[in-house]
Amino acid sequence: MTLRTSLLLPVLLPLGLAAVPVAAQEADGTRTVPVAIDGAGQAAPAQSPASPAAVDEARDPATPAEPQPRDGAQAAPSPGDSQDGQDAPAPADPPGAREPEQVAPGAAPDDDAVAGPSDDPDAVESATTRVPLEEIRRYVGLFNAIRAGYVDPVDDRKLMDAAIRGLLLDLDPHSAYLEKNAAQAFNEGTTGAYDGIGVEVLQLPDGKVRVIAPIDDTPAAKAGIRAGDVIVSVDGRELRPADAEGAGPLRGPPGSSLVLGVVREGEAQPLQITVRRETIRVASVRGRMLEPGYGYVRISAFQVETGEDFSRTVAKLRDDAGGRLRGLVIDLRSNPGGLLTAAVRVADDLLDKGRIVSTRGRIDANDTEFNATPGDLLEGAPVVVLIDAGSASASEVLAGALHDHGRARIVGSRSFGKGSVQTLLPLGNGDAVKLTTARYYTPSGRSIQARGIDPDVVLKPEGDDGQAAGPRQTEAALPGHLRGDEEEGASAGDVLPGEGPIQAALAELKKPAAPRAAAAAN
């Protein structure tokens, strides 16, 4: 019997970007099949997706690397996870799919590979469409040896689940197998409501979790958890790889408390931080006036309602300014990403034309492009975007789009550098696979993978002692990360907490804008 792996691709990878999220990163940018960075807005894809999608980290900056999903659930930011992504439900049976063809009588089966007919009449036999039979035999032999000889009985399902997770383990930091609870938790990231402490995290191979960023006004932020912290224990028990299964140890009933063991750069011993869980309802957009005529908008994550909330917030600030703003600061610091379509919507609100972002993968279905439509909410008023090392995935999409078009100046520190798209592939049992399927590119055609967005004006963090206020972090430092086109020589950025960077951005906003031709492709 022969089976060609290309028969599985139409089932697993209908990867178009989508308008309505079903599951969220590590925007991710993360798509689902069901897409999350990485929500629908006026922006129109230049190319229609292969099938309807449901939404980065990204939420794995780490998430950022999309980041992993919030509060330790496997998945996503980025400063994500994530994305940190996009989702498009995969059809149960792709058109034209056929049962594996039996070997004709008298024909010698291929001992070297399991292969077979493709549903694509133009398909060409290649090594990439063949599964080596010898490797299958090796796996089955090991499976049987473990089942028969391990010191304690091992459930077949447990062994198979471990094997499936192993398929993804060494691909990159943002591809992961999500059991049902983790997949549900991943979906919660797009709506902004769940029970936990309010952090975007990246799951590390040893079971510990790295904080991509604490979410504004959540228990984690109030308790002093910082971007770059590594949570090594919960309630005195060291975290292990098995703790990553399901919703994770940071989730739990509202009102319950937990003591986190936190390793922080510059601290000789792990910190013990008590955090009380709450139902986290994240308002991803907040705004205020900095000075008469000058507005400020903070975007903490890209969720389903972020695009609409941004438009509403800007309209209110404009009314407060007497009908017209003289300038706007957009704060994306420690924003790990989220839904790509939400970032596209915000960019479209500030651009009249041109490409916003494009994605490129190994198959045509992953090659998409979003273009701006006419209409600028600020009517050309200057914009400054504030970023730091915790800005990842969808945050980098927005910053890159505005910068390449000459629409905004970038102030802060080099961003995280998560330039990949994750697609969520739902399985029939409620589990899902979060798979990296594409890289995304700014309007000028530049990939920020493992490089990040470089600011026009660089800010340095200042602690009470004049030292850096947080650990330096970057996608390029993650083991197994995708190689970037420009990562060589790229140094990590800094986390920039506090009010000082906002005032620096305001000062830059007031400066006359130097004429600059947009680098973006039309």
Catalytic residue positions, numbered: 393, 404, 418
**Gap between the Cα atoms of 93 and 224, Å rounded:** 49
**Four-CA torsion 395, 400, 403, 407, nearest 10 degrees:** -60
Q: What is the largest CA-CA distance in the chain?
A: 86
Q: Please check whether residue 215 is in contact with residue 337, taking contact to mean a CB–CB distance below 8 angstroms.
A: no
How far is C-alpha 314 from the geometric centre of its chain's CA atoms?
25
Angle, to 10 degrees, between the axis of helix 156-169 and the axis of helix 133-149?
A: 130
Q: Quick count: other Cβ atoms within 10 Å of Cβ 512?
A: 6
Q: What is the per-residue DSSP string for 72-110?
A: T-S-------EE--EE-PPPSS-TT--PPPPPPTTPPPP
Which tokens is 348 given? 């479209």
343-382 residues labelled b (16+ CB within 10 A) or e (exposed): bbbbbbbbbeebbbbbbbbeeebbbbbbbbeeebbbeebb
Contact indicator for 424, 34 with CB cutoff of 8 Å: yes
Are residues 344 and 220 in contact, defined by beta-carbon separation less than 8 angstroms? no
| Of 379, 422, 372, the residue nearest 401 (C-alpha) | 372
| C-alpha–C-alpha distance, residues 92 and 463, integer Å | 55
Distance separating alpha carbons of residues 449 and 355, to the nearest angstrom: 19
1, 12 contact by CB (below 8 A): no
Backbone phi, psi, residue 451, to 5°: -125, -50
Say if residues 497 and 332 touch (Cβ distance below 8 Å): no
State both tokens at 20.
């309505």
The packing angle between helices 340-350 and 394-404, to 10°, is 20
